[in-house]
């Protein structure tokens, strides 16, 4: 069983972790949430009342020395990810770290090497592999109905001028890292990557637009795109194979969900048909078949199931060390290209 301590108590913990582990009390117990005193002074303690079964503390030493805790989840600002991860490993704890896993590839390699040396699990929180749309896409690809995949296109677009005009390098490691990981999780590490990453409005000062091509064997290409200037709804995924095509509509953005007082409530009810994918393929009889594909249920708790199984030696961890490094390397190279844009 996972006995978990969170380091940090921001939106990520409240929205993308706690509602899902709450459904898996048979394998997950959240014992602590560590908060720095300065964060408590800034944010207050009101939200702590929503989780009476969890012990909130500002005593990190107590958390790290608690022998019952076997998983530390790092949910802090990016610059602290590596230091908290290393601290947890030093105290014999497995680590799940929010993205980006580290500030650079060298830092990530150091964490992963130390985890291997200590025989512990260390992994980035690539929970978006379990998004409803990505789970549906995976089901369709794995069914074989599309045949050999020749092109996979992923969009994560907005219509947001203020973001487009922002002067900061944070967007690809904050937004782009998940669709890049989804591609690598499905198809593996690419043979070659071609980058177009920049700011349309503030070239050399931000990374708000990207079109990244990942090339694989047999001519297959995966495209990961984001623009802040897409007004009309566009398919989230467009996939072409030698036997057919699949379109997956956009489900919108989780960040746009209205925040309300109290614990975040997640619906696990099936979504209506307007959100289903459209599959068109040629079957073994040579007939063209067009069908709607019901949306799978998104469930980030599956990541915790994987961690629990991996720690027990029942399976491999979801995100391999090689995948962790490859994703971070692509993100950092894309950001560097955006910095050089004129």
pLDDT tens digits, 210-248: 999 999 999 999 999 999 999 998 899 999 999 999 999
- Picking from 90, 125, 160, the residue at the C-terminal end of a domain is 125
Q: Is residue 141 part of a domain?
A: yes
Range of the domain at 29: 2-125
Q: Are residues 215 and 294 in the same domain?
A: yes
Q: 228: domain CATH number?
A: 3.30.360.10
- What percentage of the chain has pLDDT greater than the value 70? 98
Q: What is the pLDDT of residue 252?
A: 79
26: tokens are 């048979």
Q: Are residues 153 and 197 in the same domain?
A: yes
Q: What is the pLDDT of residue 254?
A: 63
pLDDT digits (tens, 9 = 90+) for 58-102: 999 999 999 999 999 999 999 999 999 999 999 999 999 999 999
N-terminal to C-terminal alpha carbon distance within the chain: 52
Strands of 190-342 (E only): list them: 192-194, 197-198, 209-215, 221-226, 237-241, 244-248, 277-282, 288-293
Q: Are residues 264 and 120 in the same domain?
A: no
106: tokens are 């060298």
pLDDT above 60 (res 256) = no
What is the 8-class DSSP label of residue 92?
T
Q: Are residues 66 and 86 in the same domain?
A: yes
Q: Are residues 109 and 27 in the same domain?
A: yes
Q: Is residue 152 part of a domain?
A: yes
Q: Are residues 204 and 336 in the same domain?
A: yes
Q: Residue range 300-323: average pLDDT?
A: 98
Q: Are residues 141 and 118 in the same domain?
A: no
pLDDT digits (tens, 9 = 90+) for 49-70: 999 999 999 999 999 999 999 9
Q: Are residues 141 and 280 in the same domain?
A: yes
Q: What is the pLDDT of residue 260?
A: 77
HSE toward the beta carbon, residue 48, CA cutoff 13 A: 15
Q: Are residues 148 and 93 in the same domain?
A: no
144 Ramachandran zone, left/alpha/beta (phi>0; psi -120 to 50) = left
Q: Is residue 309 part of a domain?
A: no
Burial of 38 (0-12, 13-18, 19+ CB in 10 A): exposed
Q: What average pLDDT does the structure give for the chain?
A: 96
Q: Are residues 214 and 140 in the same domain?
A: yes
Q: What is the pLDDT of residue 143?
A: 97
Q: Is residue 15 part of a domain?
A: yes
pTM > 0.85: yes or no: yes
Q: Is residue 324 part of a domain?
A: no
67: tokens are 């022998």
Q: 91: domain CATH number?
A: 3.40.50.720
pLDDT above 60 (res 322) = yes
Q: What is the pLDDT of residue 258?
A: 66
Q: What is the pLDDT of residue 157?
A: 95
Q: Are residues 154 and 285 in the same domain?
A: yes
- Picking from 103, 125, 147, the residue at the C-terminal end of a domain is 125
pLDDT above 70 (res 299) = yes
Q: Is residue 319 part of a domain?
A: no
pLDDT above 70 (res 255) = no
Q: Is residue 315 part of a domain?
A: no
Q: Are residues 121 and 136 in the same domain?
A: no
- Picking from 84, 100, 125, the residue at the C-terminal end of a domain is 125
The count of structural domains within the chain is 2
HSE toward the beta carbon, residue 132, CA cutoff 13 A: 23
pLDDT above 80 (res 141) = yes
């Amino acid at each position: 069983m996972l006995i978990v301590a969170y380091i940090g108590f921001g939106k990520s913990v409240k929205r993308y972790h706690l509602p899902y582990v709450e459904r898996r009390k048979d394998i997950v117990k959240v014992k602590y949430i560590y908060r720095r005193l300065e964060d408590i002074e800034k944010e207050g303690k009101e939200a702590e009342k929503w989780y009476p079964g969890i012990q909130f503390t500002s005593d990190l030493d107590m958390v790290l020395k608690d022998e019952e805790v076997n998983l530390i989840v790092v949910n802090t600002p990016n610059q602290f990810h590596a230091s908290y991860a290393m601290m947890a490993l030093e105290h014999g704890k497995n680590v799940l770290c929010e993205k980006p896993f580290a500030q650079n590839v060298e830092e990530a390699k150091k964490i992963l090497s130390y985890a291997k040396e200590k025989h512990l699990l260390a992994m980035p929180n690539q929970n978006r592999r379990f998004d409803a749309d990505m789970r549906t896409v995976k089901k369709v690809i794995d069914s074989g109905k599309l045949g050999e995949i020749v092109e996979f296109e992923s969009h994560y677009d907005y219509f947001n001028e203020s973001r487009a005009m922002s002067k900061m390098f944070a967007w690809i490691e904050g937004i782009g890292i998940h669709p890049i990981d989804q591609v690598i999780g499905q198809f593996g590490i690419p043979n070659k990557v071609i980058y177009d990453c920049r700011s349309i409005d503030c070239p050399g000062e931000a990374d708000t637009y990207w079109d990244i091509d990942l090339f694989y064997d047999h001519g297959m290409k995966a495209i990961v795109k984001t623009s802040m200037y897409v007004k009309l709804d566009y398919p989230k995924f467009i996939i072409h194979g030698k036997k057919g095509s699949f379109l997956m509509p956009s489900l919108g953005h989780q960040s746009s969900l209205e925040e309300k007082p109290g614990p975040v409530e997640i619906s696990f009810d099936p979504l209506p048909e307007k959100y289903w994918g459209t599959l068109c393929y040629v079957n073994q009889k040579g007939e063209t078949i067009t069908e709607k594909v019901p949306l799978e249920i998104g469930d980030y708790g599956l990541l915790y199931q994987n961690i629990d199984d991996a720690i027990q030696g029942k399976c491999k961890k979801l995100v391999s060390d090689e995948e962790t490094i490859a994703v971070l390397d692509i993100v950092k190279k894309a950001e560097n290209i955006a910095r050089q844009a004129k």
